[in-house]
Amino acid sequence: MNVQSKSRQMLILIPTYNERENIAALIGELAGAVPEAEILVLDDGSPDGTADVVEELEAERPRVRVLRREGVRGLGRAYLDGFRLSLADGFDVTVCMDADFSHDPEVVPQLVKCLQDGADAVVGSRYISGGRILNWPLNRLLLSRGAAVYTRLVTGLPVRDPTGGFNVYSRRALEMLPLDRIDSDGYAFQIEIKYTLWKLGCRIDEVPIVFTERREGRSKLHRGIVGEAIGLVWRLRRGVRR
């Protein structure tokens, strides 16, 4: 990726797997909401050609890039590559968000403002006052809420929405993370990053968000993601890392 000559303020990382129907519209909305941001799509060889869509956009949008990942697929692995690139390219602020419009592009400036007010990491939170989830079936609500409460009980992590994927990290926070030692994915990845930062003494603030069901495309949630998260919280509690 060549972002050498550009401003180094803010990088938005968007992991994608089969998000062809969402990605162009999301990038368009982000360009309106945060025009100064660079956008890096982290694609895992989506069979639907998501990366090709982004590549076509690159011609007209110089702040947009796609990283075509190879090898083992995974949300966590994609984010770790994104974190490394963000550090290497000197960005001060790294925003993480889903491609499916569950995370509102208009809220990015608010999350970033909170970081600039002194937090090391900011979590877009569904589970603090003012936060909400729209259009999720009861089983998804219970699973997500249950995971949040369970994580807190087992690990002590004082974050109300530990599995959330709409997060902002300062350069300092990313520099502190032992990126080579983190290898979880899905919900577990979100928990592991927040837990590690908390243990390192970082200030993690939460800002309420309204989370909506994905606009288009299919969920990649599967039972293995939940099992992995359950295993991880107990490992964190015992202080064991792989």
Ligand X SMILES: Nc1nc2c(ncn2[C@@H]2O[C@H](COP(=O)(O)OP(=O)(O)OP(=O)(O)O)[C@@H](O)[C@H]2O)c(=O)[nH]1
What x/- string results for residues 166 through 205 when contact with Mg ion is judged by CB under 5 A? ----------------------------------------
19 binds ligand X (CB under 6 A): yes
How far CA 51 is from CA of 11, 73, 96, 133, 181, in Å, comes to: 18, 14, 18, 29, 28
Chain CA centroid to CA 173, Å = 14
Q: Which is nearer to ligand X, 43 or 120 (CB)?
A: 43
Among 11, 17, 30, 83, binds ligand X (CB under 6 A): 17
Distance between CA atoms of residues 27 and 61, nearest Å: 9
> Which of the listed partners (Mg ion, ligand X, none) does 15 bind, with a CB threshold of 5 to 8 Å by partner kind?
ligand X
Distance between CA atoms of residues 203 and 173, nearest Å: 9
Distance between CA atoms of residues 227 and 224, nearest Å: 5
Q: How many CB atoms lie within 10 A of CB 60?
A: 7
221 binds ligand X (CB under 6 A): yes
42 binds ligand X (CB under 6 A): yes
102 binds Mg ion (CB under 5 A): yes
* 167-170 vs 93-96, strand pairing mode: antiparallel
Ranges within 51-80 binding ligand X (CB under 6 A): 73-75, 78
220 binds ligand X (CB under 6 A): yes
Among 8, 68, 171, 214, binds Mg ion (CB under 5 A): 214
98 binds ligand X (CB under 6 A): yes
Distance between CA atoms of residues 165 and 155, nearest Å: 19
